[in-house]
Amino acid sequence: MKIDFIVNGKKVELDTNPTRRLLDVLREDLGLLGIKEGCGEGECGACAVLLDDKLVHSCLVPLANARGKEILTIEGLKNTEAYRIIQDAFLDAGSVQCGFCTPGFVMSTYALLKNNPDPKEEDIKKAISGNLCRCTGYQMIIDAIKLAAKRGEKLWKA
């Protein structure tokens, strides 16, 4: 079946099985390897992308559901000011160790700050409730998100 959708601003049309996971299509067909597969069952958030501006686990989205929709992956965010602010904040707060979960956390951070430019710690914890990190113990990630909120204040509120 032909399925068309927009990935990182570019129109894509694929002739494939619509029951395939969005995660597999993004990685295998489109080569977007910033999206990781961790658990494959919607627990770890390593595969997080924005689907029509809403944060989702791409391992739980059948491709058919993406038909006609817009997808933003970490690669699409990469050359933006928002990405630079979040990346620097993660580096400065020491939030990255093995780095496997980081793209997912970056996407969750972006989704949070876009909608809530001045999050309380509780909001941050809820926003990253769909992401697992086995290295950092979360506090440094929470610190990074606070830092990104502060440094990008003008951008998030714009």
Partner 1 sequence: MGELLWYFPETIKELKEIITTSVGVVPHSGGTGLLKGDVRKYKGLVDLGRLHISNIEEKDDFVEIGAMATYGDILRYFKDKNNNALLYKSLLNAASFPLRNRITIGGSVAYFPPWTDVMGPLFALSAQVYLTGEKEGWYSILDYATNRELHKKTVVLKIRYKKDVDTGRSAHYRAKRTQIDHPAFTITLLLYVRDERVHSASFYVVGTKDKFKRLNVLEKQVIGKNVKEIDPESMSLDEVEFYGKVQFSPEYQKTLFITEVKRKLRDILETLK
Torsion over CA: 111, 83, 73, 38 (sign): negative
Cα–Cα dist 85/132, whole Å: 22
Q: Which CB sits closer to partner 1, 76 or 88?
A: 76
Q: Which stretch binds partner 1 (CB under 8 A): 45-53, 79-87, 93-101, 150-158?
A: 45-53
Residue 26, interface with partner 1 (CB under 8 A)? no
Q: Which CB sits closer to partner 1, 97 or 116?
A: 116
Q: Binder to partner 1 among 33, 92, 94, 126 (CB under 8 A)?
A: 126
The closest alpha carbon to 130, from 66, 50, 63, 52, belongs to 50
User: Following DSSP, what letter does each residue of 50-98 receive, concatenated?
Assistant: EETTEEEEGGG-BGGGGTT-EEE-HHHHTTSHHHHHHHHHHHHTT--SS
For residue 10, the minimal CB distance to partner 1 (Å) is 22
Size of the residue set binding partner 1 (CB under 8 A): 28
Residue 129, interface with partner 1 (CB under 8 A)? yes
For residue 38, the minimal CB distance to partner 1 (Å) is 13
DSSP 21: B
For residue 127, the minimal CB distance to partner 1 (Å) is 6
The closest alpha carbon to 41, from 61, 27, 25, belongs to 61
Cα–Cα dist 155/113, whole Å: 9
Rule CB under 8 A: which of 60-119 touch partner 1?
60-62, 64-65, 67, 108, 111
User: Is the distance from CB of 100 to CB of 46 less than 8 angstroms?
Assistant: yes
| Interface with partner 1 (CB under 8 A) | 1, 18-19, 21, 41-43, 45, 48, 51, 54-57, 59-62, 64-65, 67, 108, 111, 126-130
